[in-house]
Amino acid sequence: MRGPHNIIRLIRTGATFERTGAMGVILDAFDAPAPLRIAARVLAWPFKWLGHKGDPSMPPAVRALNALGPAYIKFGQILSTRPDVVGDDMAQELRVLQDKLPAFSIEEAKAQVTSELGIPVGEVFSEFSEPVAAASIAQVHKATLCETGETVAVKVLRPGIERAFRVDIDAFYFAAGFIEFFSPSSRRLRPTDVITHFEGVVNGELDLRLEAAAASEFASNTKDDEGFQLPTVKWGYSGRRVMTMGWAEGVPLGDNAALDAAGHDRVALSERVLQLFLNHALRDGFFHADMHQGNLKVAANGDIIAYDFGIMGHIDEYTRRVYAEILFGFIQRDYLRVAQVHFEAGYVPADQDVDEFARALRAVGEPIFGMDATRISMGKLLSYLFEVTERFGMQTRTELILLQRTMVVVEGVARSLDPHMNIWTVAQPVVEDYIKTSIGPKAVARDMALTAKVLARFGPRLPGLVETALIRQTQTPDTGPTYPRLKKLAWLGGGVVLGALITILASSL
């Protein structure tokens, strides 16, 4: 229900931040301006008594987000990958939201497994451990299959998680509608559409059969990727609320001390994690969209192991090419081309000035090149990017939300491994390779081949379709068939056939 009762939920959110002491901590982390600090404290303080108390043993921000529920925890997970935005100390505190949240009992987990699989746990697993990781939506148990003796990870959804998310999302919808009504300028950000997108992502996470399917597809796409591993889905032991996969043995990617002790090259790992993401996004159009440290390990041989496939991103071929051209333009410091691509793709309204937009992009890109990454303030950069989008009337592209969010997260993960990493230098070989294979002559030939395949499916119906089109186009209410128009259509028909022949020839090259 998206009614006014959600006002209480939103007030309680602010009150929880105030009661737990998280309000001041978060405002400090974001270096919020004085007016915002004063307004936030004045509005939240009178309702402090309504806020959730949370777990006093937790740091303030973690305590507040954990008390508010899974949707807020998701936000905290993103911030945990950005020490350059919230500071090293807070980022480290928020890491517990990735996989170290309070777990539910092993008895509840076993009951769910038995209910989902229709077989008692003891008949499926000879061993079933206490939770080894617990996140916002599910927790994981280490187990051993009776049939094969293989060690596996059993993921079990939290009891009541569907309702918990429903409550949060309803409140978010209400807040989005409130913002759009009272702040017309915010409508370009499409708050309601963003929440709808978020709701779709969450619903996908709440059905582990979909996650298993995503993991299977991802494994098929990446089977030849060097230095990358995925655990195997055990379909016979999986269902809507339970998923079983092979056990991923390795060092957590977020534990730099353990990585160093194991002799892993963190600089190489930082480059690989970013390049893997770009390869998956550009080459396959299907990528892991929740690549924080809690979902990544490093195997003994140095391979990166990814798991937890509840959030996967998909982008079509056209969007991939646009995204690659934008990245490539930044790498080449060709800001005019980057601006032109934004206009061509419709990301910027046509009535804006392309040269002005190019200059604004230059102000974004130039400070990054040749500068040590530790000296780049990502917080200030993101703030300026927001100003640019507002100035040029750019609307939120919901189809790019996961891509953009994951890019921010992955870059944060990479920089946590190597604070001096420069995203553009590392991205260059991957983007250049994609440009060569997907935007050059080979890509044109491949597109024409695909067009030919589509035309071929209509081959038997083509004469009838052409005849019907000719009759419709040459008839007028008063005079009937018109010879000049028929002649033009004959030339057009010949052009279509010639184009199809050229396409077929090109596909055979």
The tens digit of pLDDT for each residue in 364-401 reads 778 777 666 666 655 566 566 667 777 888 876 766 77
Which sequence positions are flagged as catalytic? 290
Tell me, yes or no, whether 93 lies in a domain. Answer: yes
Contact (Cβ atoms closer than 8 angstroms) between residue 47 and residue 14: yes
Look up residue 251 and give its two tokens.
């060092």
What does the pLDDT average to over 82-109? 80
Task: Classify 265 as helix, strand or coil.
Answer: coil
Tell me, yes or no, whether 31 lies in a domain. Answer: yes
Q: Among 422, 439, 456, which residue terminates a domain? A: 439
Tell me, yes or no, whether 127 lies in a domain. Answer: no
Tell me, yes or no, whether 485 lies in a domain. Answer: yes
Residues 425, 472 within the same domain: no
Tell me, yes or no, whether 68 lies in a domain. Answer: yes
Per-residue model confidence (pLDDT) at position 371: 62
Q: What percent of the chain has pLDDT over 90?
A: 32
Residues 424, 453 within the same domain: no
Per-residue model confidence (pLDDT) at position 209: 94
Q: What pTM value is reported for the model?
A: 0.74
Per-residue model confidence (pLDDT) at position 434: 84
- Report CA torsion sign: 30, 35, 40, 42: positive
Residues 75, 91 within the same domain: yes
Contact (Cβ atoms closer than 8 angstroms) between residue 129 and residue 143: yes
Residues 419, 294 within the same domain: yes
Query: Domain range for residue 78?
Result: 6-99
Residues 258, 282 within the same domain: yes
Per-residue model confidence (pLDDT) at position 501: 34
DSSP H or E run through 152: strand 151-157
Residues 429, 322 within the same domain: yes
Per-residue model confidence (pLDDT) at position 497: 37
Residues 434, 460 within the same domain: no
Residues 446, 434 within the same domain: no
Q: How far apart are CA 232 and CA 248, in angstroms?
A: 9
Instruction: Give the per-residue SS3 of 181-242.
Output: HHCHHHHHHCHHHHHHHHHHHHHHHCCHHHHHHHHHHHHHHHCCCCCEECCCECHHHCCCCE
Q: How far apart are the first and last CA of the chain?
A: 59
Rg (the chain; Cα; Å): 27
The pLDDT-based confidence of 494 (bands split at 50, 70, 90) is very low
If phi over 0 gives left and psi between -120 and 50 gives alpha, with beta otherwise, what is residue 393? left
In angstroms, what CA-CA distances link 491 with 52, 456, 458, 487? 74, 21, 20, 6
Q: How far apart are CA 51 and CA 234, in angstroms?
A: 43
Q: Among 99, 115, 133, which residue terminates a domain? A: 99
CA-nearest of 245, 246, 252 to 266 is 252
pLDDT at 88 over 80: no
Tell me, yes or no, whether 105 lies in a domain. Answer: no
In angstroms, what CA-CA distances link 243 with 3, 74, 80? 35, 21, 26
Q: Give the total number of structural domains in the chain.
A: 4
Tell me, yes or no, whether 137 lies in a domain. Answer: no
Residues 430, 287 within the same domain: yes
Range with the largest mean pLDDT of 150-159, 194-203, 329-338, 456-465: 150-159
Residues 363, 486 within the same domain: no
Look up residue 30 and give its two tokens.
């974001």
Q: Among 143, 172, 203, which residue terminates a domain? A: 203
Q: How far apart are CA 36 and CA 26, in angstroms?
A: 12
What does the pLDDT average to over 332-360? 90
Residues 306, 370 within the same domain: yes
The pLDDT-based confidence of 3 (bands split at 50, 70, 90) is low
Per-residue model confidence (pLDDT) at position 119: 92
Task: Classify 474 as helix, strand or coil.
Answer: helix
Residues 426, 288 within the same domain: yes
Task: Classify 253 as helix, strand or coil.
Answer: coil
Per-residue model confidence (pLDDT) at position 256: 93
The pLDDT-based confidence of 485 (bands split at 50, 70, 90) is very low
Amino acid letter at 371? M
List CB contacts of 336: < 8 A, sequence separation 6 or more. 354, 355, 358
∠ CA(483), CA(486), CA(487), 5° rounding? 85
Tell me, yes or no, whether 152 lies in a domain. Answer: no
List CB contacts of 267: < 8 A, sequence separation 6 or more. 417, 418, 421
CA-nearest of 439, 437, 206, 423 to 318 is 439
Q: Is pLDDT larger for residue 353 or for residue 404? A: 353
